[in-house]
């Protein structure tokens, strides 16, 4: 409530003349304010609060301002004491921001209290933030444009140059101040440029690409028109690329192609030397990527789930991770979860106390996890675990403790887990045969080893490696004919590296000559390899001559398997026997 004694006496006369009561006028005056207002006594009690203060800030007459708005307590005390100015702190209430002022209310020399005013600054603050964000965005845009390695020209709809970036200054050997503000028509007339992408875009109103010679450089220019909502051309953006440097780089890359190939082969060889003396062959990018992942996870202590088809080398990856981990030298315990009888699985994994079951050892027995303490346990075929064993494994992975079968005390262990499977654990989770929580615990870092059919670059090196290995062990020399190599590369290898190694041993042992030809290959390999070669080779991969040779080779191999001798083969194929003999010799079919 405003004080009558502080008001101009003329105001009372006016109010009385018009029949308006002072109290009603004062209340209406404060209620009409677009700001929140509250009159506060010296002791902090709210004497009056207008509608905005009541509804927006919850300030009600009779309440304590120091409790409702504690941020103003020191300001009000300072204003009453005359030691601070009326300006107050910003208040945050929900999504709103208020600027505050605190003024002293007095009647003559008597200090009655304070008047607190709350001004809604939300819109102003939002606008200020947007302006700051816009300024920051503009700064970032300028930084990006200036950092581009390609030249950039921006012209308006009349071909006046608005801006060029530093790359354009370098490519054209000019300064921005020489061209900014000038018209491209004038620059072309003066011979600064022999032609202009901007002018061609303006004439055609479509994107334009052209080559421009500028002081010994070949520049590839691309002009893009920019239209407003009325389809009027307002900007032309032109990018410049130094084709001279690109062509030189392309030639250099072509000249270094052979060297690059040698370097890549050398890198692969070094990688092979590092992974246990060529036990893992990695020529395909997908296999090299899997190996890089294995090297990376070896340095940490996370759980690893190794996935891949049977025979791809999951155990070799586990050995690799162990060898290059901090736990190398500590125990590495390998178990095949599918090879342990279900009735003994928990006892083998977690151990058992004496008398735990009939036939148990008198002193009990530690489980595989106890044997692997401070080291690594490799659990192959993890999908074969029973649900009860999965529960115990999950509990161990959560707290690192195991309890022996028949035991009553937990044992704290420090074991890193490497798991492997050829099955789809996600599918097993959906079918309810594998626990979802255990799946997430195991697949902290998944590594997928690609099947051999997806890394054909590795097949020939693997064939040579295993053939040399078994031939050296037997004291003989063996090598493949070109036709046999092609057939084995085309073969899909459902058993992966394990099948390849076994086949190499078989061929080394069973072949009688140094050269291993198509005739030495098993019929099932020959049949599937021939069909795979025809299916996989399309027009873009084979010349007509190569396609004909593939077809001839396949037909000859199938005829030989079916008929056995050259005379019958010639009759079935509709050629004479000498042609069959010549072509069999050509393709190495012995």
According to the model, what pLDDT value does residue 276 have?
Answer: 41
148-248 and 454-586: same fold?
no
pLDDT of residue 424: 92
* Predicted local distance difference test score (pLDDT) of residue 257: 65
Task: Write the secondary structure of 212-223 as one string of H (helix), E (strand) and C (coil).
Answer: EEECCEEEEEEE
Q: Which CATH homologous superfamily contains domain 148-248? A: PAS domain (3.30.450.20)
Pairing state of beta strands 304-307 and 445-448? parallel
Residue 315: which of 342, 276, 373 has the closest Cα?
Answer: 276
CATH fold of 454-586:
Helicase, Ruva Protein; domain 3 (1.10.8)
Residue 25's pLDDT is 58
Look at residue 548 and give its three-state secondary structure. helix
Question: For residue 424, what are its two tokens?
Answer: 């789809």
Cα–Cα distance for residue pair 346/216, rounded to 1 Å? 79
Q: What is the pLDDT of residue 530?
A: 55
Handedness of CA 273, 279, 283, 286 (dihedral sign): negative
CATH 2.40.30.40 for the 279-450 domain, yes or no: no
DSSP code, position 446 = E
What's the fold here for domain 33-124? Beta-Lactamase (3.30.450)
pLDDT at 434: 94
Burial of 402 (0-12, 13-18, 19+ CB in 10 A): buried
d(Cα 411, Cα 336) in Å, to the nearest integer?
A: 23
What's residue 360's pLDDT?
63
Residue 169 has a pLDDT of 85
| Whether 321 contacts 294, CB under 8 Å | yes
Q: Are strands 217-227 and 208-214 parallel, antiparallel or unpaired?
A: antiparallel
- pLDDT value of position 358: 61
Helix, strand, or coil here: 276?
coil
For residue 132, the tally of other CB atoms under 10 A from its CB is 10
Please choose, from the candidates 532, 544, 542, 450, the residue with its C-alpha nearest in 3D space to the C-alpha of residue 497.
450
The closest alpha carbon to 494, from 314, 338, 311, belongs to: 311
Q: Report which of 456, 507, 500, 452 is spatially closest to residue 480, judged by C-alpha positions.
A: 507
For residue 534, the model assigns a pLDDT of 44
The two structure tokens encoding residue 285? 């990018």
pLDDT at position 540: 44
Q: What is d(CA 470, CA 504) in angstroms, rounded to the nearest whole number?
A: 8
Helices of type H across 523-565: 523-536, 544-563
- 371 Cβ neighbours under 8 A, 6+ residues apart: 331, 333
Asked whether 406 and 355 are in contact (CB, 8 A), the reply is yes
Q: In the chain, where are the structural domains located?
A: 33-124, 148-248, 279-450, 454-586
Q: What angle do CA 494, 500, 501 make, to 5 degrees?
A: 140
Specify burial of residue 33 (Cβ count, 10 A radius: 0-12, 13-18, 19+).
middle
State the 10-residue block means of pLDDT for the chain, 590 residues long. 48 53 62 83 89 86 88 86 79 83 85 88 72 67 71 88 86 84 88 85 88 75 88 89 71 66 54 51 85 88 93 91 91 90 83 71 82 94 91 90 83 94 93 93 93 89 91 91 86 91 93 85 75 45 62 77 81 87 76
Q: What six digits make up the tokens of 73?
A: 């307590």
Q: Where are the beta strands (DSSP E) in 11-150?
A: 36-41, 46-49, 87-93, 96-107, 110-120
């Amino acid at each position: 409530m405003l004080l009558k004694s502080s008001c101009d006496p003329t105001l009372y006369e006016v109010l009385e003349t018009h029949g308006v009561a002072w109290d009603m006028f004062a209340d209406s005056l404060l209620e009409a304010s677009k700001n929140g207002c509250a009159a506060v006594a010296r002791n902090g009690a709210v004497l009056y609060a207008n509608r905005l203060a009541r509804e927006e800030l919850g300030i009600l007459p009779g309440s304590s301002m120091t409790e409702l708005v504690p941020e103003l307590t020191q300001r009000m005390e300072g204003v009453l004491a005359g030691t601070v100015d009326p300006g107050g702190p910003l208040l945050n209430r929900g999504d709103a921001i208020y600027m505050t002022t605190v003024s002293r209310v007095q009647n003559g020399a008597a200090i009655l209290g304070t008047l607190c005013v709350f001004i809604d600054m939300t819109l102003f603050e939002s606008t200020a933030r947007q302006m700051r964000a816009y300024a920051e965005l503009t700064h970032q845009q300028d930084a990006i444009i200036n950092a581009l390695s390609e030249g950039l020209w921006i012209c308006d709809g009349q071909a006046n140059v608005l801006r060029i970036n530093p790359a354009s200054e370098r490519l054209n050997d000019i300064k921005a101040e020489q061209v900014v503000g000038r018209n491209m028509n004038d620059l072309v007339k003066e011979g600064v440029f022999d032609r202009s992408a901007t002018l061609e875009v303006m004439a055609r109103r479509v994107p334009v690409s052209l080559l421009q010679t500028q002081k010994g450089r070949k520049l590839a220019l691309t002009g893009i028109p920019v239209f407003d909502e009325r389809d009027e051309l307002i900007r032309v953006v032109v990018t410049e690329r130094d084709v001279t440097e690109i062509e030189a780089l392309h030639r250099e890359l072509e000249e270094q192609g052979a060297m690059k190939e040698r370097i890549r082969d050398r890198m692969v060889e070094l990688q092979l030397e590092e992974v246990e003396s060529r036990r893992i062959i990695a020529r395909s990018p997908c296999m090299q990527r899997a190996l890089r992942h294995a090297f990376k996870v070896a340095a940490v202590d996370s759980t690893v789930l190794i996935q891949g088809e049977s025979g791809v080398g999951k155990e070799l990856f586990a050995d690799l991770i162990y060898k290059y981990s901090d736990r190398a030298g500590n125990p590495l315990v390998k178990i095949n979860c599918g090879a342990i009888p279900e009735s003994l699985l928990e006892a083998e994994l977690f151990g058992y106390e004496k008398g735990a079951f009939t036939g148990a050892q008198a002193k009990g027995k530690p489980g595989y996890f106890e044997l692997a303490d401070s080291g690594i346990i490799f659990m192959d075929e993890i999908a074969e675990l029973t649900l009860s064993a999965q529960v115990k494994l999950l509990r161990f992975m959560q707290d690192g403790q195991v309890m022996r079968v028949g035991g009553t005390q937990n044992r704290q262990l420090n074991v890193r887990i490497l798991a492997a499977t050829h099955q789809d654990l996600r599918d097993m989770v959906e079918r309810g045969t594998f626990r979802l929580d255990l799946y997430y615990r195991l697949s902290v870092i998944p590594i997928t080893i690609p099947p051999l059919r997806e890394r054909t670059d590795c097949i020939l090196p693997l064939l040579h490696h295993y053939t040399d290995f078994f031939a050296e062990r037997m004291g003989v020399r063996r090598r493949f004919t070109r036709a046999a190599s092609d057939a084995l590369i085309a073969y899909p290898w459902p058993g992966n590296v394990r099948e390849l190694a076994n086949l190499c041993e078989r061929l080394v042992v069973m072949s009688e000559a140094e050269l291993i030809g198509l005739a030495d290959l098993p019929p099932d390999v020959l049949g599937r390899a021939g069909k795979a070669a025809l299916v996989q080779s399309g027009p873009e991969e084979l010349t007509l001559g190569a396609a004909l040779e593939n077809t001839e080779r396949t037909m000859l191999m199938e005829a030989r398997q079916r008929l056995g001798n050259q005379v019958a083969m010639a009759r079935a194929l509709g050629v004479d026997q000498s042609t069959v003999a010549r072509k069999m010799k050509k393709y190495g079919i012995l």
